[in-house]
Structure 1
Amino acid sequence: MFASVRLLFAASKLKPSVSDVRKHKDFSHLSDVQLAKLVRLAKLRKLAVGEVITMSTAGDARRYLFKGKVRVRSAKHEFILDIQGASEGLPSLDELLAESVRIECLTPAFVLAMPTALIGVSHEVGLDDWVETPDELAVDDLSLDLVSELQGSLAREIMRDVKEERLNLPTMPELGLAVRRKAMDPNSSASDLTRIIQVDVTIAAKVIQIANSPVYAGYESTKTLNEAIARMGMMAVQDVVTALTIKQLFVTKQPRLRRRMRNLWEHSTRVAAGASVLARHAGTVDPEQALLAGLVHDIGELAIIQYANQSNLSSISDADLDVAVKHLKGPLGAMLLRHWGLGEEFVVAARFADEFDKQTPNEILLLDLVQVSQLHAQAGTSMALSLQDITQIPAIKKLGLATEGPEKSISLLREARAEIETVRLALAL
């Protein structure tokens, strides 16, 4: 159930991270996703001792001194810039050259060229920015600086395996893969899917149960798998079956990890059910996609638990697991879903599920539904946000749940509780 994943990283380890460039005045207006795209597309050029940096005529990039010592000389002034990385400010070479100065390298120097087209964009994030989120954002922008070496040992071990391309991630269960392949075949039919799914009696029964759930309110009850597939549609069925088969990954013989897996599955099913019901009410997102997005939004945590399961568990404390989950759950989830070949909206939902202040495009995304469903699932728990806080969350505003005040927004979420519980029970295996 595991496969080795080859991950993508920045071409040079000298490239800055998102946290490095975020501090610069030229980039402070950009979102984290736009910053990550900027870093990914940046070009790093090495200059030799004695080389003179001249004014660029292309205009397609802005150049910054990333590392090295240079002499800046004009008719009246002369000074030395000695920069050892992005944390020291990234001086703009083009701004200096505009003042008629001569810049000469006193040591080997690295010049960072940032695409002008990306620097000039507004902070508003477009869908293209989200679906092109690079793997660098999932790895290179992580920081364990505030975590002790001892407490963060598991997280550091996982990060090392990721960067050395040795990390094994769970593979999608065979039935889910088979159904997805068949659904994508333009020559396949509902009968073809029926023949594949009916081999697993439990999954087949659950597909029928979901076809009769509030997600498909208004239809007559269906009794056969073929009717259920015809009602839902083949593309919808592939998402539902994928969601149902994922439960097969929640297996361990370790009692301590089994408790974590059980709690994770319970939370995931609640979020999945809530997201699918919200999608139906929103009317612009497929409920089945929302169901799958909710079920896999914490799949990175499952990867961490399974990593611990293959390690020496006696040396891993609950605190170690908590730190690894906090810092790595989103990035690992994004990597895993990419490896599975799910759409980028699923990847984004897993990567940013817990970052409730994220600004997203105007259209409702799977991420928005997952976040609002999480807030509903957390209501009444120690993790719940205050009523005032909840109405400031972008996803809440986008779904129109903040317009009537905080109490109204909570009541609107609670009104769907019966529907959500029905769908959640349909997911129980």
Structure 2
Amino acid sequence: MSTESALLSILTEKIRQDALILPTLPEVAIKIRDVADDPASTLHDIARVVGTDAALSARIIRVANTAYNSRSATIDTVSAAVFRIGLRAIKNVAIAMALEQLFISSNPIVKSCLRRVWQQSVAVACASIAVSEEYLLTHKSSPVSRDRLALAALLHEIGALPILTEAEIQAPDQISTKFLNNVIEKVSCTVGVHIVRHWNLGEDFAKVVWQWRNGAFQSEQVDYLDFVRLGYLYYQKTQFNIDVKEELEYYVDKGAINSVDVFMSHEFTNKLAQERLLYE
């Protein structure tokens, strides 16, 4: 049995037995999420939670002075930063920082693969938000929310984490980038569903993680899955020079976007640049 087949067998069996070690969302991210999702919470409540983490505080202040500056005076306190950028950005920056801390390894090949997965996740998240902007502005009753879309896109490949951890344990001297990418492509969606359910993120997230690779599955109405897939199409186009016009035509017909040239519009590029600043 090949190393890849052996690892796939181990992963499949651990998934079946519910024995796969799943990553834990860091405490500060959980607190931020809970406070941000509580209708009774205020920006003062968010500021207090952010202030308990020095690294997060520094990131929030920097974001407030870059992505959300708009020629305003420079700020240097967490409270002022929170009031400038608001709940959505705070929540997304906090969870992104927490997730990034999970993408670590001492194995150079695994480390490189983790970096690639994280960079893809951020790129897809930024593009998903940017490409959804016009739709959400003109469809006020859409169930899609920007903050949940950003997080769903950021988590679309979260299933890679336990796979890479298991590969490092089972075959540290036999893995290659190609080997890891093949395994991720085959089972990351299955593993990812277990993670988002373990984190109680909701079935809309589970749907994105489970189905984003499955082109045969299409939802009837425009939803999170459509925009995450559009974000991934942008990633494919820019990273691998893949022609995605045919796929974009489908989304024009569905009503998610207005044109196959959406990625070249000023609105898209400006919004994309602003979103990227949240993760730098």
Under a length normalisation based on structure 2, what TM-score does the superposition of the two structures give?
A: 0.82
Equivalence for 2:225: 367
> Is 1:417 aligned to residue 269 of structure 2?
yes
Equivalence for 2:199: 340
Match of 1:178 among 31, 39, 51: 31
1:12-411 map, 5 Å:
151-185=4-38, 188-210=41-63, 223=75, 224-230=77-83, 233-234=86-87, 237-283=90-136, 284=142, 285-362=144-221, 364-382=222-240, 384-387=242-245, 389-394=246-251, 397-402=254-259, 406=260, 408-411=261-264
The offset of 1:322, in angstroms, is 2.6
What runs of 5+ residues in structure 2 fail to find an aligned partner? 137-141
The offset of 1:370, in angstroms, is 1.1
Q: What letter matches 1:416 in structure 2? A: F
**Alpha carbons 1:356, 1:394 under 8 Å: kept:** no
Structure possessing the higher radius of gyration over alpha carbons: 1
Q: Secondary structure at the match of 2:22?
A: strand
**Alpha carbons 1:240, 1:292 under 8 Å: kept:** no
* Structure whose residues are more often strand by fraction: 1
The offset of 1:288, in angstroms, is 2.4
Under a length normalisation based on structure 1, what TM-score does the superposition of the two structures give?
A: 0.56
1:348–1:375 CA distance, 2 compared to 1 (3 A) = same
1:312–1:395 CA distance, 2 compared to 1 (3 A) = farther
Q: What letter matches 1:427 in structure 2? A: Y
User: CA offsets per residue over residues 14-58 of structure 1, 9 Å max, x none?
Assistant: xxxxxxxxxxxxxxxxxxxxxxxxxxxxxxxxxxxxxxxxxxxxx
Judge which range, 335-344 or 187-196, deviates more.
187-196
User: CA offsets per residue over residues 81-126 of structure 1, 9 Å max, x none?
Assistant: xxxxxxxxxxxxxxxxxxxxxxxxxxxxxxxxxxxxxxxxxxxxxx
The offset of 1:415, in angstroms, is 5.7
How far apart in 1 are the matches of 2:6 and 2:195?
22
Q: Secondary structure at the match of 1:251?
A: coil
The offset of 1:170, in angstroms, is 0.4
1:182–1:382 CA distance, 2 compared to 1 (3 A) = closer
Judge which range, 151-160 or 307-316, deviates more.
307-316
- Greater RCO (Cα-Cα under 8 Å, separation 6 or more): 2
CA RMSD of the aligned region, Å?
A: 3.0
What runs of 5+ residues in structure 1 fail to find an aligned partner? 1-147
**Alpha carbons 1:257, 1:309 under 8 Å: kept:** yes
The offset of 1:210, in angstroms, is 4.6
Q: Secondary structure at the match of 2:122?
A: helix
* Structure whose residues are more often helix by fraction: 2
Q: What letter matches 1:375 in structure 2? A: L
Identity of aligned residues (%): 25
Q: What letter matches 2:155 in structure 1? A: V
Q: What letter matches 1:378 in structure 2? A: Q
